[in-house]
Amino acid sequence: MPRFFIESVDSEHVVIEGDDARHISLSLRMKRGDTVTLCSGGVDYICELDELSPEKVVCRVLEKNCAKTSRISISTFFRRCRREARRKRLYRNQSSWE
């Protein structure tokens, strides 16, 4: 399901304009009734597309969920990056001794 980041969700209907509306209607070729995820302020909104045009897309909010970010996977990623950087420095230092 495509995910888009928006400023805010004020009611049960959300209007998307500009580049995102163009992307939804022309590039992704989504149709009325398709669902998208809209993200705003740490909350994911599952929305159904009601009206589509390249200038404006109107969505109806079906479901509201707190965004899930796994702290474990993020910290594991950074730990792996640091480990790889250390290996590269160690290899570079060893090759300069020769």
Residue 56 and residue 91 in one domain: no
33 and 1, same structural domain? Answer: yes
Is the model more confident about 92 or about 27?
27
Which residues have C-beta within 8 Å of that of residue 28, sequence separation ≥ 6?
2
Domain count, the chain: 2
43 and 85 together in one domain: no
Model confidence pLDDT, tens digit, residues 30-72: 999 999 999 988 889 999 999 999 999 999 999 998 866 555 5
Contact present, 12 and 50 (Cβ < 8 Å): no
**Domain membership of residue 74 as a residue range:** 69-98
User: What six digits make up the tokens of 66?
Assistant: 């707190």
Task: Give the alpha-carbon dihedral of 1, 17, 13, 33, to 10 degrees.
Answer: -40
Q: Does 46 lie in the same domain as 78? A: no
Identify whether residues 14 and 33 lie together within a single domain.
yes
Asked whether the whole model's pTM tops 0.75, one would answer no
Supply the CATH number for residue 46's domain: 2.40.240.20
Note whether 62 and 76 are same-domain residues. no
Checking DSSP bridges between strand 13-17 and strand 43-52, what pairing results, if any? unpaired
Q: What percent of the chain has pLDDT over 90?
A: 49
